């Protein structure tokens, strides 16, 4: 999927569930931030994808520094929540110095272990928007790979999408590695992003999602997380599935 002015955009429709269904086409779109959308990009969201709701998972500081492109609010409801910082708010890591590639990779694993709880409010918003029929929904963070990747993995898990398909979708963000480097360099991180030891920040590694699921499952099963952190018990999860899934 190409939306001019952003990267890492794709429809989650078509992903298979364990019971033989699939996620409905055109209902869930994930992407990177939308501050640089061109007029064509805005028009594509309106006319081609008919996006009704845009959920911005970035921090308050990120949204203030790089506000959404002009015109988005005319045809879609913009939704966000305010928070000061995130372990996936990469700019907070740039102040660190004298680190190794292994240390940055370990830091990314730790970020993914904490994301489901740290970002629970934003992930709950996504689930509620789906539950209340605010589709088609586009949700994004900065690069569209960490907060967005975790949100997608959790929502797809709730919908019963197979773990293999969840990983396949997650790892597609690696295809945007060079575009991601260019985008973040354009946001003022040029010197950092030329340093090889910081590359794990820009990568999409299967080990990241492994770390997240392992940490979740150490505290209980996925149903426990959905109920405890997001307030979605079994009946609410079934409502999500009824609204989002279709026959394969």
Q: Cis omega before residue 136 (within 30°)? A: yes
Beta strand pairing call for 77-80 and 137-140:
unpaired
Contacts of residue 168, defined as CB under 8 A and 6 or more positions apart, other chains included, come to none
The stretches of the chain forming alpha helices (DSSP H) are: 39-43, 60-65, 72-75, 101-118, 120-131, 147-158, 163-171, 177-184, 190-193, 206-218, 222-230, 234-244
**What proportions of the chain, in percent to the nearest 5, are helix, strand and coil?**
55, 10, 35
CA atoms within 13 A on the CB side of 80: 19
- The residue annotated as part of the active site, out of 90, 137, 138, 141, is 141
Q: Is 176 a catalytic residue?
A: no
Distance in angstroms (rounded) separating the CA atoms of residues 102 and 34: 31
Among candidates 135, 130, 132, 146, which has minimal Cα distance to 59? 146
Distance CA 162, CA 87 (A): 27
In sequence order, what are the beta bridge partners of 10?
Answer: 30
Q: How far apart are CA 181 and CA 209, in angstroms?
A: 21
Residues tagged active-site: 141
């Amino acid at each position: 999927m190409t939306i001019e002015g952003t990267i890492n955009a794709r429809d989650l429709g078509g992903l298979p569930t364990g019971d033989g269904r699939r996620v409905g086409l055109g209902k869930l779109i994930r992407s990177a931030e939308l501050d640089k959308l061109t007029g064509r990009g805005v028009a594509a969201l309106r006319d081609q994808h008919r996006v009704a709701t845009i959920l911005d998972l970035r921090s308050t500081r990120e949204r203030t520094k790089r506000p959404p492109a002009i015109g988005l609010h005319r045809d879609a409801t913009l939704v966000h929540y305010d928070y000061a910082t995130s372990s996936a708010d990469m700019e907070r890591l740039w102040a660190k110095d004298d680190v190794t590639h292994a240390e940055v990779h370990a830091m990314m694993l730790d970020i993914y272990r904490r994301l489901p709880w740290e970002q629970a409010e934003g992930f709950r918003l996504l689930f509620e928007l789906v539950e209340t029929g605010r589709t088609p929904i586009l949700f994004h963070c900065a690069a569209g790979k960490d907060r967005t990747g975790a949100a997608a993995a959790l929502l797809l898990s709730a919908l019963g999408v197979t773990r293999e398909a969840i990983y396949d979708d997650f790892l597609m963000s690696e295809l945007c590695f060079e575009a991601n480097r260019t985008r973040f360099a354009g946001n003022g991180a040029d010197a950092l992003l030329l340093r090889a030891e910081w590359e794990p920040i820009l990568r999409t590694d299967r080990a990241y999602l492994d770390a997240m699921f392992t940490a979740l499952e150490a505290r209980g099963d996925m149903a426990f997380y959905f109920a405890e952190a997001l307030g979605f018990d079994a009946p609410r999860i079934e409502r999500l599935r009824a609204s989002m899934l279709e026959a394969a």
